[in-house]
Amino acid sequence: MAASAFLQAVHLSKVIKSQIILKDINLSLNKGYIYGFRGKNGSGKTMLFRALCGLIRPTEGKVIIDGAELGKEMSFPPSVGVLIEHPGFLNGYTGFGNLKLLAKLNDVIDDDRIREAIRLVGLDPNDKRKYRKYSLGMKQRLGIAQAIMEEPDLIILDEPTNALDSDGVEELKNLLLTLKAKNKCILIASHDKEELDYLSDELFVMENGKIIDHYSCKVTDDE
Amino acid sequence: MSRLFFRDVIYSVSYGKIKYLAFFAIAACLTIMKSVEIKPFSANSIDVMFLMLQDNGTIRRAADYQVPFYWEFIQFFPLILIGDFLHQDESSNRTYLLLRCRSKIRYMIAKIGWMTWQSGWLFILLFFLIYVLSSLILGDFSLGSSSYFQQQIMPMMEAKASPASLFVHMFIGFVVTTMVLSALQLLCIQFISPIATLFIMICLCSLSTFSSSKWLPAIHSMILKRNFFDTAHHLTLGFSVAYSLLVYVLACVFAIYAFVKKDIL
């Protein structure tokens, strides 16, 4: 395991009510890469993401982000954007209004950056429609926008292509490649093997809380 | 933390605006009905507040028991509003808020601040609504001792109290009781489902309509069980405030502790 990895999971395990949720997960992830996680429902992808965010505390093992141990030296990663299930956006607010309400919590980005994030996911930042009028795909895009708007170092997207049409999936792929080029560490979970193979530099296959396969998807330009 | 608090305020008002409107609309209807009912007796807004917000008093014989519908509505509805928002934020927004504020303690303190604010402004608005509407209908904007107060309310008292004192006891009683029950709700939802929590709160409130034990949290908003209506139980405003604040602080501390220790699933 590389000592300088941006994000490390070391023998990470989680047991809830005698049920093994995660078992001996070891990861070494770097910035500037996209890591895919594939597995059936209940395989532990979302739980792993929650553990990497500090939302659940491991029963054994540890998560180290940028040299600091999660749960000891810090409660949560210092710079993370996530999409795990739909955020509870307000129906009576526009997409921009909803993101602004969240962005104000950290107050590290201005309105222009929020608009830029909305534009990046293929929505119109000046759209005056309320969130309740959004289609499922638009809601998903707005969820992705909230994950990336603060330009976090670590981006975790659980099933980001859910409810997206083919154009939306294509746009998301381009967006992730752009973020990768900006030296972000990106983790995505999906059922879709083809999609993950295309996007990911490395792919982890999960089953029953364990990583059962791990391979590199990198292809050279010639290939 | 203040940013989280203000976000909670904005979110809760926007998320629950229809429910808030329903609460105040029903309260307005009840105020109008009560005001019209006592208009012929030279009453003022304090009398309407008393009639609307009173409970069923101390039960000495089971046959005397009556459900205090108005008191239950005024006491339950704010708890439902508060519980609804807490549940919505727990289920849909917690992950996104926690990862932005990066502290479970700050997150919970903001929620407690929001609950306190909510308990205050709901009752400030409710009392103001009753005052304005009843005064308009009764044609009397005074807050002093009316004929109705002297002839109908004072004879019910075992110890004398002014209309102002009655008002202060009712207002502070509802605010501190709502604060305590909200904090207990916050504590309970760390362990059990919001629906089960609300059911427990309703049972806890309803217990006070049967029993006159001053250790029950909901009894402190019951004006007819206060010392000037019922001297036997020595339920003073000082005791109510001190006891309620103690339970509130304890419930909040345990809720924070439970939240810090639990996994965010």
> Are the Cβ atoms of A50 and B14 closer than 8 angstroms?
no
pLDDT number for residue B213: 87
A88/B4 CB distance under 8 A: no
pLDDT of B211: 84
Contacts of A104 in chain B (CB under 8 A): 3, 6-7
Contacts of A85 in chain B (CB under 8 A): 92, 95
User: Is the pLDDT assigned to residue A221 strictly greater than 80?
Assistant: no
Q: What is the mean pLDDT of chain A?
A: 91
End-to-end CA distance of chain B: 23
Question: Nearest-CA distance from B169 to chain A in Å?
Answer: 37
Distances (CA, A) of B200 to B77, B163, B164, B197: 14, 34, 34, 5
Contact B55, B68 (CB under 8 A): yes
CA atoms of B69 and B54, how far apart (whole Å): 10
Residue of B nearest to A57 (CA): B263
Q: How many CB pairs under 8 A join A and B?
A: 69
**Which of A74, A75, A105 has the CB atom closest to B3's CB atom?**
A105
Sign of the torsion angle spanned by Cα atoms B85, B90, B93, B99: positive
Q: What is the pLDDT of residues A160-178, one digit of tens each?
A: 988 888 888 888 989 999 9
| pLDDT tens figures, B9-45 | 999 999 999 999 999 999 999 999 999 999 999 899 9
ipTM for the predicted complex: 0.90
Cβ–Cβ below 8 Å for A105 and B97: yes
Q: Both tokens of residue A68?
A: 């600091």
pLDDT at residue B57, as a whole number? 78
pLDDT at A1: 47
Instruction: Give the percent of chain A with pLDDT over 70.
Output: 96
CB-CB under 8 Å, A104 with B3? yes
3-state helix, strand, coil in chain A (%, to 5): 30, 30, 40
What is the predicted pLDDT for the residue at A2?
Answer: 46
Compare CB distances from B102 to A75, A81, A90 and report the shortest one's residue: A75
pLDDT one-digit tens code per residue, B79-125: 999 999 999 888 889 999 999 999 999 999 999 999 999 999 999 99
Separation between Cα atoms, residue A219 and residue A187, nearest integer Å: 19
| A90 at B interface, C-beta within 8 A | yes
- Minimal C-alpha gap between A216 and chain B (Å): 30
Residue B76 class from Cβ within 10 Å (0-12 exposed, 13-18 middle, 19+ buried)? middle
Q: pLDDT (tens digit, 9 = 90+) per residue, B173-208?
A: 999 999 999 999 999 999 998 889 989 998 998 888
For residue B262, what is the nearest residue in chain A, using CA coordinates? A56
If one counts the domains in chain B, the total is 1
Domain residue limits at B123:
2-261
The predicted structure's pLDDT at residue A223: 45
Going by pLDDT thresholds of 50, 70 and 90, the confidence category of residue B160 is: confident
Interatomic CA distance for residues B76 and B27, integer angstroms: 13
Q: What does the alpha-carbon distance between residue B39 and residue A41 come to, in Å, rounded to a whole number? A: 65
pLDDT tens digits along A108-150: 999 999 999 999 999 999 999 999 999 999 999 999 999 999 9
Q: Which residue of B has its CA nearest to A78?
A: B102
- Nearest CA to B140 out of B52, B34, B53, B45 is that of B45
pLDDT digits over A64-98, tens only? 999 999 999 999 999 999 999 888 899 999 999 99
Is A102 within 8 Å of B101 when comparing Cβ atoms? Answer: no
* CA-based nearest residue in chain A for residue B89: A88
Q: Do A80 and B91 touch (CB under 8 A)?
A: no
Question: How many residues are present in chain B?
Answer: 265
Average pLDDT over residues A19-41: 94
Q: Do B89 and A82 touch (CB under 8 A)?
A: no
Tell me how far apart the alpha carbons of residues A155 and A71 are, in angstroms, rounded to a whole number: 19
Q: Which residues contact B159 (CB under 8 A, 6 or more apart)?
A: B227, B228, B231
Tell me how close the Cα of B112 comes to any Cα of chain A, in angstroms: 17
Would you place residue B157 in the very low, low, confident or very high pLDDT band (cuts 50, 70, 90)? confident
pLDDT of residue B247: 97
| A106, closest residue in chain B (CA to CA) | B100
Distance CA A144, CA A193 (A): 20
Contact B103 A75 (CB under 8 A): yes
CB contact under 8 A, B102 and A105: no
The full length of chain A comes to 223
Specify the residue for token string 């070891």: A26
Chain B nearest CA to A90, separation (Å): 6
Residue B245 to residues B68, B116, B126, B237, B238, Cα–Cα distance (Å): 25, 11, 22, 12, 11
**Domain edges within chain A:** 1-79+152-223, 88-150
Report the distance separating Cα B199 and Cα B84, nearest Å.
Answer: 13
Distance between CA atoms of A97 and A182, rounded to whole angstroms?
A: 26
pLDDT at A219: 58
Q: Identify all chain A residues contacting B264, using CB atoms and an 8 Å cutoff.
A: 50, 55-56
Q: Which residues, in sequence order, are CB contacts of A126 under 8 Å at separation 6+?
A: A96, A115
DSSP structural state of residue B33 = H
Query: What count of other Cβ atoms lies within 10 Å of the Cβ of residue B152?
Result: 16
Structure tokens at B185: 């709700």
A 10 A CB-CB count for A113 gives: 15
Place of tokens 């969130």: A131
- Which chain B residue is nearest to residue A105, measuring alpha carbons? B3
Q: How far apart are CA B236 and CA B86, in angstroms?
A: 31
Q: How far is CA A121 from CA A36, A74, A172, A173, A201, in A?
A: 20, 31, 7, 10, 22
Point out which residues pair with B52 in neighbouring strands.
none
Q: How many other CB atoms are there within 10 angstroms of residue B143's CB atom?
A: 16
CATH number for the domain running over A1-79+152-223: 3.40.50.300
CA B134/CA B36 separation, integer angstroms: 8
Q: Which of A56, A102, A104 sits opposite B96 (nearest CB)?
A: A102
C-alpha span between A11 and A16 (Å, rounded)? 17
